[in-house]
Structures are given as structure tokens and as C-alpha cells.
Chain A
């Protein structure tokens, strides 16, 4: 589904990703962990198409397509979703309008009829209940005045409504209390299916108690220095990142 080979990327001349390899197959959930500054968010931004990042080397194959050559919105419409670490506020634009525009962009791409306002509201309200959001959030401006937890729930709601094929969750757990974390994880878990893949980026192993990954990778210095199963996350928690990074010198770009 997604195959990243020898990816190098920089921002403002500063090299961040330095030869990253990763293969994600349908139905798999990959956790990417790593210390601050390892390049975790850069990876998510580059995959989503953020223009400030310069891809200097490498390829990303997305179901036979060259992902890096696709415009941002094409990537999104073809099923790549990024849950933002810091969701953006758009004053004056209602959440309902924004969500419907997004859903309909995806539906058009799939050759499905667009949802009208009534159908959309019905669908959205049902899903909002599942992530613990009150109806009023439909009529508030996108993320404006939302608490940290509310913003993250809104990201998960968007993911559920858009039904992506690959969801990248960029530190969706940061700033969440345990109850919000459970709601978010529950939403993500309900999305798991043999066709849908996920890349869960997190700093803490805590999230992985709720979203159990198939693979865990440690990202450090712009490349994956260690890969393993669920147990790797627990080892990391016990020993800290310095443990992997010291041992990581021998693990040249281990891929999953």
C-alpha cells in the first residue's frame, strides 16, 4: 500500500529525514516512536505533501502511484488522511461546512453522489456521538475556541467521516487526559479493518496500551533505527530512547 524508500527531506536547508525506509501493508498498524526532533512530524508532513519540506532523495510508492508527485488534495482524496498534531483554526467557517466539503471532495473522487446538507448532518451527528462531541460543535467555527481534547476528537471525527485507506495520526495523544485518550483510541480501533492501514506517531507508549500496533519502529536521527513488535514499545518505556539510540548504531535503516 505504502512503500517509503531511502527518503531524505529537509526544511530550510536543515536535513531532517536521512534515508527512511518503511513498508505498510493493508490492515497493518505501525507505531512510530522516537525522541523529540527525530523527524516524526516531518515524516507525516512530507507524506501529506506539505510544501515547506524539500524532498531531496527517495521515493514513496502509494498503490503504484508516485505519492510525492501528487498534489496535497489528490493525496487526501485518494485516501491518505493526516490527523494533525496541532489542528488548525479556521474562523468563520462552520465545522459542518468544512466537514461536508471534505467528505464531498472524497465522494466526488470516488464517483459517488455528494451528500446534501440534511444527509450529511444526520451522518455527522451519529458519528459525533461516538467520539463524545456535542451537536453544537457542528455549528462552531473549525477548531476555534476548542480545547486541546476537543480538537483531537474533531480530528478523529474527520477521520471517521472520511474513511481513509491510510490514516496517519501525528501525536494524537499529546495533551489528552486519560478519558479523552480512551475515546480517541476507541474511535481509531473501530476504524481498524483488513483494508485500512494506520501509522500512529507517538512519543509515549501509553497510547499503545489502547491502540495495539502490529509493528513498532523507533525513529532517530531521521531514519528508523529499530523495528519490532508490540514488545519494543514496552522495552522503550523501560529503558528510554537513549537505550535504542546507543544500540541503534548497528541497525542501519532497519525496515519493517
Chain B
């Protein structure tokens, strides 16, 4: 080389770019024959859907009243997201694989093509497979196609089944709890879900039972031009414990698909529910074409004294995420927790956070939110901590950190605190940092590749949240963020 004319240039691809341009690996389509009802939404659609599921009259009435209320509501506009109006008449509200009759009784009856789909997604449904210690309810488009380990769970009195089945088999429990945490009129998307929800999971842990294995639901959207509207209801009776995980993926498509779920948790005296989500819906391409609109209402009710509800979420997918898993701390000495990692890359928009409503005495809540913005992504934390007048000695700690990768992304924080009792202690800490060139240079000077260095830094940023995830999901979450597992040294 000629040193006087040819300045030395270090040839290295921008490490951040290559890290952020990974492909969406769950974007395949399963070729399976489905029954899909025509697009559009009216009372007849709901009657048809309810009939397909052989629902009792009370369930249909519940749906119809939700629908009638929904008609009076407006789409919420307050979130830090923007998208063209959704045409609710241009969506099919029910799509199910044809092979399914009344819900398979055992895995042998499940279409092998579906089994292969879940295998490919890393969620094998064979009970002796990788997730051997985890019972899985697999929801494919609008129906649950399989639920594993039912027998073992039934032996200790745990009910874990699809929501449709619960409506038929355990109507007394469903009627007692459905809509008691998220009323049908709660918000626009919750009302829509109440009208048209198709399936989901139902969990009941009886008094004093510690659920012997992790329960999980794996949601897969496959059909095009459909929405997925699942409903999950988890009840932990006095002294019961359950850890529940959910995962989600969808094919890559140019259209936007709507996913509007409702999750209700009820924890009675001394019960504990730990609910973890790894959300990896298709986020759209790098120009923002396609992707899932993830508009979800999740809420837990710490109904009994000393009850405990903990939400952990890793949100890496979806074109738009709009969700605020919340806890109503009704029982004295109850505890609510929210741990969140939300990543917005390319044109993704996330507006997510939590609400902690302190009503009981000595209630405590912890909020740890980690927002990562990259590309043209926009990430907002929105939180409400409310201490009601009767909540003596309530305590909240909120920590809200944003990490910016690159120069074209955005992070916003909208914390709200309403304190109506002078004995309360409410703390809020927030930081915003940019993934440092300094940090990258330092790690690379120690011999790490750029990719490993970025992964390590992002992983470190998320560590407080990842450690709340069950082991199986911690691995998946770290892989999703393209990070290598820290291993036993960490």
C-alpha cells in the first residue's frame, strides 16, 4: 500500500447494523386446510362463532352485550403510536385448521403438520421433548389444537385446558370469574375481544396446590386476513402457586394483522401467580410493511391478603404493541410486580407499561422497565401508580431505563403517580443511555467480535428482567435479542 495517498481505513461493517438486521425466523406459513368464516363483524358473526364452539346461551349473551357496548366506543388515541385506522369489517374473526373436530383428545389426533409447525418453532408438543417439564397449550389461529400433560395436572386438581373447553366443562368457574378483572366495557379492544374471542387458555389451581410444572400457551397466527382474539383466565385459589408462560409468533406478511387479547388473573389469599411472556409476533419488514398490531389488555387482581402477582414480559415483535399488564392490589399486604423488556427496531412502535393500583394496606409494587429503541423504532413507557386513600403504608419502586441504538430511534417515558395517602412511599428512577461506542470499543479491544459485544451490552441492560424469567424462556428471550447465554459464570 502507498501510505502517503491511501489513508488506512479499518474495514468493518457497522456492528450495530448487522446486529439489527437479523431475519425473523418464525415467519414461515404452515400449509394446512382451514375453515375460515367470511370477513366482517355483526351480531350474526358472533352467533356463528358461538355456535361453532357449541357454547351455552349465557356465553353468547355475554358476547353480544360486549359487542353492543363496543359499538358505542371509540378507538383509543392517547398512545404514542400511529397507524392507519383498522377496518374491523375487513377481518375474519374465526379460522381453524380443518382437521380439528371437537378438539383433539390426545396428541395422536393432532394433524402432523401442526405438530411439525410447533416443532419448527422450538415448542415440541411431545411430552418427552425438550420442554419436558412444561405443559403446553398450543393455540393455532382461533383454536387450541393440543394441551399436554393434562392427566398429570388433573391428578393434583389443576385444570389446564383451552378456554372453549372450560366454557363447556367448567361453566361454574368461568361464569364466576370471567370479566371480573377486565370488564367487557373496560376499553375498546377488551370489549371487542369479549365479543369475538375464539380461544385461549384456562387455568385453575385449587386451594393449597403448588402447580407441579410450568404451564405455557404458545400462540401462533397462521391464516391471513384474520385476527386472533384469545382470552386467558388464570385463577389461583388460597395458597396456590402457578408459573405460566406464553409465547407468540406469526408468518411474515405484507398485511397488518390484529391481535387483541385479554388476560385476567385472580389471586386469592396467599396465592402467587407468575406470568411471563415472550412476544415475538412478526414485526413487519424494515420499511414498516406488515406486522402484527398487538393490542392487549392484561390485568391481575390480588384479591386476597398476601397474594402476589408478577408480570414479566419480553416484547421483541409486533409492528405496534399497546399493552399495560397491571395489578390491582386489593388484598392487604399483597404484592405486584412488572418486569419488562421492550425492543423496537426498524419501524416498530411500542407503547407499553403497567398500572399498579394500591387499595389494600401495606401493599407493595415494583416496576422495572427496559426499553430498547433501534433503527426508526419508537418505544414508550407508560405507567400509572395509584395509591388510593385507604392504602396505608403502600410502597412502590419504579425504575425505567431506555437504551438507544443508533441515531434515528426514539424513547419516551410517561409515568403518572397519583398518591392519595400520606403514608405512601413512591420512588421513580429513570435513565436514558445510548449504546456507547465507548462500550463497543472497549469490548472489541478485549477481542470480542462486534456482534458479541452488542449482544453482551444489550443482555447486560436487560439482565434484571431476564433473571425473572423461567429458565426455558430466559434462553429463548436472550436468543431473541441475539445474545449469547451468559452461562454459569454470570
Contacts and interface: CB of A to CB of B under 8 A. Distances in A.
Interface of A: 5-6, 48-52, 54-60, 66, 68-73, 75-77, 81-82, 84, 87-94, 96-98, 100-102, 105-106, 109, 117, 120-121, 141, 158, 162
Contacts of A91: 460-461
Contacts of B75: none
Nearest to B13: A71
A102 B448 contact: yes
B450 A73 contact: yes
Contacts, number: 124
B452 interface: yes
By CB atoms of chain A within 10 A, which of B456, B462, B489 has the most? B489
A117 B463 CA distance: 19
Contacts of A82: 445
Given A52-B437, A90-B460, A92-B461, A98 B446 contact: yes
Contacts of A57: 3-4, 7
Given A69-B1, A101-B446, A121-B489, 7 more contacts: A50-B441, A56-B7, A58-B3, A72-B12, A72-B444, A73-B444, A98-B443
A96 B437 CA distance: 22
B364 to A, nearest CB: 24
DSSP class of B's interface residues: helix, strand, loop or mixed?
Answer: helix
Contacts of A48: 441, 445
B17 to A, nearest CB: 14
DSSP class of A's interface residues: helix, strand, loop or mixed?
Answer: mixed
Given A52-B437, A92-B464, A101-B456, A72 B445 contact: yes
B447 A87 contact: no
Nearest to A80: B445
Interface of B: 1, 3-4, 7-12, 436-439, 441-450, 452, 456-457, 459-464, 486-490
A89 B438 CA distance: 9
Contacts of B437: 51-52
Contacts of A75: 445
A241 B431 CA distance: 43
Contacts of B11: 69, 71
16 contacts: A48-B445, A51-B441, A57-B4, A59-B1, A66-B1, A71-B444, A72-B445, A81-B445, A84-B442, A91-B461, A93-B456, A93-B463, A97-B490, A105-B448, A109-B447, A158-B446
A76 B444 contact: yes
A72 B10 contact: yes
A97 B486 contact: yes
